Chains A and B, each alone.
Chain A
Amino acid sequence: MGGYGDVQMIDENGKRVDGRGPGDLRDITIETDVVPVADGSCRMTWGTNEVIVAVYGPMECHPRKLQRQDRAVLDVAYNMAPFSTTDRMRPGFNRRSREISKVTKDALESVVLLELYPRSKIRISIEVLSAEAGTRCVGLTAASVALADAGVPMTDMVVSVASGKINDVVVCDLNKEEDNYGEADLPMGILPNSGQLVFLQMDGDLSQEEFNQAWQYNMDAAQMIHNFMVDSLKGGEA
């Protein structure tokens, strides 16, 4: 976290730099069936974030050493396109994208009914075309929509959203400027039907009260986002 607490990001009326209140989300759109050659796909815009996810499979698992006799494995790759950031991103994996791929895989393997497809693989490609802040949340949320679009059985979809703190105020869904000067970030992956969690990270500095507030913002936001996800899968524009 940057932690430049002297930069004023919230005005005297409690409005944020982009006019939102503390608990408000950025604009979200969700569209399915955007990669015609894939088994399932999703395009999600969230503020000026844009992510495309394609799902292939279940299919034969190569290399064989990754195969599991009793269940399917998820092959999750999170990647940022070279033109997705202000300074060009060099193509290829880095430590950050590997970690995000792993925690996304851990979250999704918790909900997909893997035992139905022993010895197979389901490939999930998360491509960030435009990054603002919170791309891991957009990627994970869009991936569960793409899995549903592919008809992969799951106990629930994962909704991922983050809250954080700027100028000692807890706010939901940090944008780029807020993220740069933010004092904390708490991304969560929530199962909207049960309120359980499959993904959790945090960095920064939060008091117990602030932490509880951030947690509650995420829980409330997850229900809203879940409605958009269901609408998009029912064929409407979310």
Chain B
Amino acid sequence: MAIPLVPKLLRAHLAELAENDARIDGRQQWEGRDVEIETSVLPRAEGSARVRMGDTIVFAGVKFQIMKPYSDRPNQGGLMCSAEIRPVAGRNWESGPPSPESIELGRVVDRGIRESGCIDVDALCIIPGEKAWQVILDLFAISDDGNLFDAFALAGIAALRNAVVPAERFEVGEDYSLGVSKTPIMCSYHKVGDRFVYDACGREELGGDERIHITLGDDDHVHSLQKGLKGIFSTEEFTEIMGRAQERSKEIRDILDSL
């Protein structure tokens, strides 16, 4: 990713807004943008979703491959999650090998989904030691106006929830629904002008400091955490955003369940 210029004026403006308990797009400190989720949107994918949060738009697509199980886990299939942010998504994203930013995005989303145990990897085994399903979740950004993390995580779990294992095409039985037993939800908080805000937009990311990502499972169990970018935060600050994440993740889970 090209390092964009961070205008001092933008940083000063964001700091002033924060002091007055305001945000650059008029939202409250913990208010998220409207979330739109559409599923089964990609005809060639076995599961798919499109998520829109403000001007951030992403797709997630699930594909399946047959793999040889790892020798230390002969009864398990696999899950692979990768994020691609190509130049289509914004003027600062460049073509070329995956950038550290997109690798971090893919890995943090991957950990939240994997560690929640929402996918039964034992059920992905076809013949122990010989054949198993590999689930591949590809995350693809179309428009980056901030907080790709939450958009990717949400599109990812939504796509997995409607994925169908293409067993007929691979001649190993009949097609069946992948089945996702849990719904991990990621909530991201950015330090903007000396305080954390939820669901930063592009300008807040550009003129902000560190960010914290929290993935919570159905029963508020913590499945992944990540602190990114330069910045210092306190236990009090973290405790507050953890509480906010518990509230917000329930709301997002309700949106998903209502689809």
Contact = CB atoms under 8 A, between A and B. Distances in A.
Interface string B49-85: 0000001010101110100000000000000001010
Interface string B27-43: 00000000000000011
A129 B95 CA distance: 17
A37 B63 contact: no
Contact of A37 (B2, B55, B86, B140): B55
A36 B145 contact: yes
A39 to B, nearest CB: 9
A83 interface: yes
Given A56-B91, A77-B95, A36 B61 contact: no
Given A37-B143, A88-B136, A130-B43, A83 B88 contact: no
A83 B42 contact: yes
Interface in A116-138: 123, 125, 127, 129-131
Interface centre among B42, B43, B144 (most CB of A within 10 A): B43
B138 A37 contact: no
B87 interface: yes
Chain B interface helix/strand/loop/mixed: mixed
A84 B143 contact: no
Given A36-B143, A37-B202, A82 B63 contact: yes
Given A37-B89, A88-B65, A82 B43 contact: no
B82 A54 contact: no
A123 B144 CA distance: 16
Contacts of A50: 42-43
B222 interface: no
B44 interface: yes
- Which of the listed residues A50, A59, A77, A82 has the most CB atoms from chain B within 10 Å of its own CB? A82
B86 A125 contact: yes
Given A37-B55, A77-B95, A83-B63, A131 B145 contact: no
B88 A127 contact: yes
Which one of A50, A79, A83, A131 has the greatest number of beta carbons of chain B within 10 Å? A83
Contacts of B140: 81-83, 127, 129
A55 to B, nearest CB: 10
A81 B138 contact: yes
Given A36-B57, A36-B145, A38-B143, A88 B84 contact: no
A19 interface: no
Among B63, B90, B97, B142, residue most surrounded by chain A Cβ atoms (within 10 Å): B142
B17 interface: no
B45 interface: yes
Contact of A54 (B45, B59, B88, B98): B88
Size bracket, chain B contacts: 20 to 34
A48 interface: yes
B144 A91 contact: no
Contacts of A59: 91
A156 to B, nearest CB: 24
Nearest to B62: A83
Nearest to B166: A86
B142 A35 contact: yes
Contacts of A36: 55, 57, 143, 145
A88 B80 CA distance: 12
A85 B43 CA distance: 9
Nearest to B45: A83
Nearest to A62: B2
Contacts of A34: 57, 142
A112 interface: no
A4 B67 CA distance: 32
Nearest to B140: A81
Interface in B133-172: 136, 138, 140, 142-145, 169
23 contacts: A35-B57, A35-B88, A36-B145, A37-B143, A48-B43, A48-B44, A50-B43, A54-B88, A54-B142, A56-B91, A59-B91, A81-B59, A82-B82, A82-B84, A83-B48, A83-B140, A86-B44, A88-B63, A88-B136, A91-B84, A91-B98, A92-B97, A130-B44
